[in-house]
Chains A and B, each alone.
Chain A
Amino acid sequence: MVVNGKKLNIGYGDHTVVRDMDINIKAGKITSIIGPNGSGKSTVLKALTRLLPYKQGSVFIDGRSLKDYSSKELARNIGVLPQMHSAPPDFRVKELVGYGRMPYQKWYQKNNSEDDKIVDWAMRSTGVWELREKSIHECSGGESQRVWIATVLTQQPEILFLDEPTTYLDIAHQLEMMQLVKKLNKENGIGVVMVLHDLSQALEISDWIVVIKDGKKYDEGKPEDVITPKMMKEVYDVDCDIIHIAGREKPLIAYKEIC
Chain B
Amino acid sequence: MDSTKKRKVSALRVGTVWLLLAVLLIVLSLTAINVGSAGYSVKQILTALFSSEKSTVKTVVVNLRLPRLILALLIGASLSSSGAILQSVMRNPLADPGTIGVSAGAGTAATTILLLFPQLTGSVPLFAFGGAALACFLIYTMAWKGGVDPTRIILSGVAINSVLGAYNALLQMLHSDSLEGVLAFMNGSLSGRSWSQVHTLMIYAGIGLVLSFLCIKSANTLQLGDEMAKSLGVNVSVTRVLLSAVSAFLAAATVSVAGMIGFVGLVVPHISRILVGSDYKQMLPTSMLMGAVVLLAADTLGRTVVPGMEIPVGIVMSVIGGPFFLYLLRKRGKMIGS
- Which residues from chain A sit less than 8 Å from chain B, CB to CB? 46, 49-51, 53, 70-76, 78-82, 84-92, 95-96, 99-100, 102-103, 107-108, 133-135, 137-138, 152, 155
Asked if A107 meets B218 with Cβ closer than 8 Å, knowing A51-B230, A85-B224, A102-B234, the reply is yes
Smallest CB separation, A194 vs chain B (Å): 14
- From A103, which residue of chain B is reached at the shortest CB distance? B233
**B1-26, CB < 8 A from A:** 6-9
Question: What is the distance, in angstroms, from B180's C-beta to the closest C-beta of chain A?
Answer: 45
* Apart from the given pairs A70-B233, A90-B8, 8 other A-B contacts in the complex at a CB distance below 8 Å: A51-B227, A51-B230, A85-B224, A85-B225, A86-B224, A88-B337, A102-B234, A103-B232
Among B7, B218, B228, B336, the residue within 8 A (CB) of A88 is B336
Residues of B close to A79: CB separation below 8 A: 231
* In the assembled complex, B307 has its CB within 8 A of some CB on chain A: no
- Given the interface contacts A75-B232, A75-B233, does A102 sit within 8 Å of B8 by beta carbon? no
B residues whose Cβ falls under 8 Å from a Cβ of A: 6-9, 146, 214, 217-218, 220-221, 223-225, 227-228, 230-235, 277-279, 336-337
Q: Out of A74, A90, A107, A155, name the residue touching B336 (CB < 8 Å).
A: A90
Give min CB distance, B82 to chain A, whole Å. 20
Which residue on chain B has the smallest CB distance to residue A95? B279
Residues of chain B contacted by A89 (CB below 8 angstroms): 6, 336-337
Cβ of A6 to closest chain B Cβ, rounded Å? 22
On chain B, the residues within 8 Å of A51 by CB distance are 227, 230-231
Instruction: Among B218, B225, B233, B279, point to the contact of A74 (Cβ < 8 A).
Output: B233
Q: Which residues of A contact B214 (CB under 8 A)?
A: 108
The answer to whether B6 and A102 have CB atoms under 8 Å apart is: no
SS class, residues of chain B in contact with chain A? loop
CA distance A89 to B227 in the complex (A): 18
B-side contacts of A90, CB under 8 Å: 6-9, 277-279, 336
In contact, B217 and A108 (Cβ under 8 angstroms): yes
Query: What is the CB-to-nearest-CB distance from A11 to chain B, in angstroms, rounded to a whole number?
Result: 14
Check A99–B232 contact: CB distance below 8 A. yes
Residues of A within 8 A of B224 (CB): 85-87, 96, 99
Given contacts A95-B279, A99-B221, A107-B218, contact A155 B232 (CB under 8 A): yes
Select one of B218, B230, B235, B279 contacting A91, CB under 8 A. B279
Tell me whether A88 and B278 are in contact in the complex, defined as CB-CB below 8 angstroms, given that A49-B231, A71-B234, A79-B231 are known contacts: yes
User: Is the beta-carbon distance between B232 and A102 smaller than 8 angstroms?
Assistant: yes
Q: Can you list 14 A-B pairs, Cβ within 8 angstroms, ordered by A?
A: A71-B230, A75-B231, A75-B232, A82-B228, A85-B228, A87-B228, A90-B9, A90-B277, A99-B224, A102-B221, A107-B218, A108-B217, A135-B8, A155-B232
Residues of A within 8 A of B217 (CB): 107-108
B233 touches A71 (CB 8 A): yes
Taking CB atoms, residues of chain B closer than 8 Å to A102 are 221, 232-234
Alpha-carbon gap, A4 to B214, bound state (A): 38
Q: Which residues of A contact B225 (CB under 8 A)?
A: 82, 84-87
In whole angstroms, how far apart are the Cα atoms of A138 and B232 in the complex?
Answer: 24
Residue on B nearest A74 in the bound complex, by CB: B233
A84 touches B227 (CB 8 A): yes
**Contact of B278 with A80 in the complex, beta carbons under 8 Å:** no
Which residues of A lie under 8 Å from residue B228 when comparing CB positions? 82, 85, 87
B248 to chain A, nearest CB (A): 20
A211 and B227 CA atoms in complex are apart in Å by: 24
